[in-house]
Amino acid sequence: MNGQSSYSQTFSDGTIATFEGSRAFEKKTQDGMTGVGISGGRTAGEIDVGEKLTGTFSKAVIFSTITVGLLFDGPEYNDVQEVAKFLVNFSDGGSDTYYLTATGIHTASWTGPGGASSVLSLGSGAVNGGTGAWQLTDPFGTRAVTSIEFGAAPGVAKHSCHHCNNQTDYTLVSLAVTAVPEAHSSGMVFAGLSIMGALALRRRRS
């Protein structure tokens, strides 16, 4: 789906998942991990500050995991403590903004109401030549989500690091959600390396 800015799929329970980019999608593979970002911009194939990738669900879903890649703590690639930003709309009518910040080689902070049950560093963590991959488990607790916008915020150390000039870019590697209230009957996985090698949702047995 490189070159396309919208993708949707309907599942057997009738849930329609639609993903749209601020520009066309572009996949990016580094150190064996493939994710999805936005084409063009400062860093092609990643979600930069000012870019967004939005997922909308026709029926409310609960997020089990979110995995992002190439989110570094610095000074890799002139990045420093990069910050992934998540704007979430909930089925109860509320909305909140969450931030995932790479704070060290194998540490990251997750801020927002409720908080994730765990933030796990994957692979070799945020190190030069590594994946810089992070997996969030139960990122929004049990709150049902109707849409989510993946964006980026400037690195938190932008004023104290004179040689760090690339303020946050990352890839969306995967997310796993279950439909509500029939959580036992519908499992979905979004993966950056599926469906024409770029953007995908596929059924997963629960």
112-166: pLDDT as tens digits = 887 678 888 887 767 766 778 999 999 999 899 999 999 999 877 655 555 555 6
Q: How far apart are CA 23 and CA 25, in angstroms?
A: 7
What are phi and psi for residue 57, nearest 5 degrees? -120, 130
- List, for residues 54-67, the tens digit of each pLDDT value: 999 999 999 989 99
Q: pTM for this structure?
A: 0.84
Q: How far apart are CA 154 and CA 135, in angstroms?
A: 20
User: Which pLDDT score, from 0 to 100, does residue 179 have?
Assistant: 81
Instruction: Look up residue 33 and give its two tokens.
Output: 């991990």
SS3 at position 46: strand
Q: Are 191 and 202 in contact (CB under 8 A)?
A: yes
Confidence of residue 85 (pLDDT cuts 50, 70, 90): very high
Smallest Cα–Cα separation from 47: which of 177, 192, 190?
Answer: 192
- List, for residues 153-199, the tens digit of each pLDDT value: 987 765 555 555 567 899 999 888 888 765 444 556 655 433 322 23
Helix or strand (DSSP H, E) at 196:
helix 195-198
